[in-house]
Structure 1
Amino acid sequence: MTVLISASQLADALAQTRDAPTERLVVLDVRWQLGGPPGRSEYDRGHLPGAVFVDLDQELAGPPGPAGRHPLPDPAVFGAAMRRAGVSAGSTVVVHDAGQGWAAARAWWLLRWAGHPRVRVLDGGLAAWRGPLTTVTPQPAEGDFLPRPGALPVLDAEGAARTAREGVLLDARAPERYRGEVEPVDPVAGHIPGAVSAPTVENTEADGTLRPAETLAARFASLGVSPGTRAGVYCGSGVSAAHQVLALAVAGVEAALYAGSWSEWCAAGTRPVATGPEPGPAGG
């Protein structure tokens, strides 16, 4: 199954589902923005017919703390949220956010990590949708999804440092945060020594859709990442990095997510920090 689904393809799939109700298509609305209000209010003002709202902070992440601002959720909490949304073992799940793609990619990554193989991201998010919206909140039948974590690779802090030494560790944040010039969220500025700057925003077109696979492959190759490369990705808290993992998957590269990301790395206050435009020597 391909990673992405276009708005027109989703419209066709929704129409087919109406004609053949036995087909299990679940649409998850994961609208979210860093530091902003929960996306629930936007969802209530209008959403895709049948889409179920999922709260990133509460259901796609654990409580913030030493493990980062958006650590991996407790599998039991995540599983319950997915069953509430109607996700079952045989479901095809389509996830979307407003258009940036970061939150949708987080939901995609978590479902894939938890063992659900049939997950697609709406390319361009809700901004690409040209069909009707509704304010009717659906009441889907309870799903039977049971998380089985481990289907996608995950890094901890030690693994991230090792990847920076022995492979390629990509930093998905904005360049100025990588260089340590500004840090609007976390207590320490800079990057993991040895990590390469690779802003997630460079993976998308102006309209928020993902760039073509060949363009992405060329971009990642220029950063030292090709199929078979030991690759990892981190960001501030593991959200935009999930979008980078998705872009790498489209380019044919499997990459591990450092779930705790910079917010975990710098929280301890004892791990090395590099600043400036260069990766710096990878340490431990």
Structure 2
Amino acid sequence: MALSFKRHFKRNLATLLATTFSAASLFASSAASAADTLTIAATPVPHAEILEFVKPLLAKEGVDLKIKVFTDYVQPAVQVNEKHLDGNFFLHQPYLNEFKKSHKNDIEVPVAKVHVEPFAAYSSKYKKVADIPNGATVAIPNDPSNSGRALLLLAKQGLLKLKDPSNISSTKKDIVDNPKNLKFKELEAATLPRVLSQVDLALINTNYAIEAKLNPVKDSLFIEDANSPYANLLVAREDNKNSPAFKKLIAAVNSPEVKKFIEEKYKGAIVPAF
């Protein structure tokens, strides 16, 4: 009887250990799976489209990429800063610099340059810069980095003069000569395509232009050249920038496959920055 009890005890102990190891393995597997999930904020075009392209490539590397789409430029940065998201893909360095000034505890870190979206000016009324009349109304983005970008582009066309033509943080106060007496409307960047018919000229970020079926190469009056300092960045948090999953994402967005995708899909409206 003692022998029977020992055998029964050993069988129960083996079953218990097997169950424990199985549960531990399942937990470890779930933890590994969670660690390999990245949630990235992006604006719809081209950022979310590029991420959708790399998503299956990352899946093969064991990374589950979740893309959260935003239509504004504020919340993607705020939510990363508050650790609700792992990173974002929508901004350029001048925008990030301005954002950090107003968010002292910002924890966003650029980890890769992906592409340049040449900034451009559009008009539904005029076909040439020379046709823009005196007193024309010009719509520009209202965020500091992109409003400065708009003023620099206008200055390069001779439509105004700035105190320092190289200062990407220029404001309307830095205009020293406005020969056509241009009147400015500063609006949220996403709304600019919708007011194009209501103004004489609108300077529109390429992602919003493309969403509105405007081709920066074909439809603009003038456009930035290839030397633009506004490369769009993949951004991580300070605490996850070196994670294995993020390193795989960085490699994916800077891959030959993505370069070919950008060149073939956007045909010069968006240019690879790597």
Specify if TM > 0.5: no
TM-score tier, shorter chain, comes to under 0.3
| Higher fraction of strand | 2
Larger radius of gyration: 2
* TM-score of the superposed pair, with normalisation by structure 2: 0.26
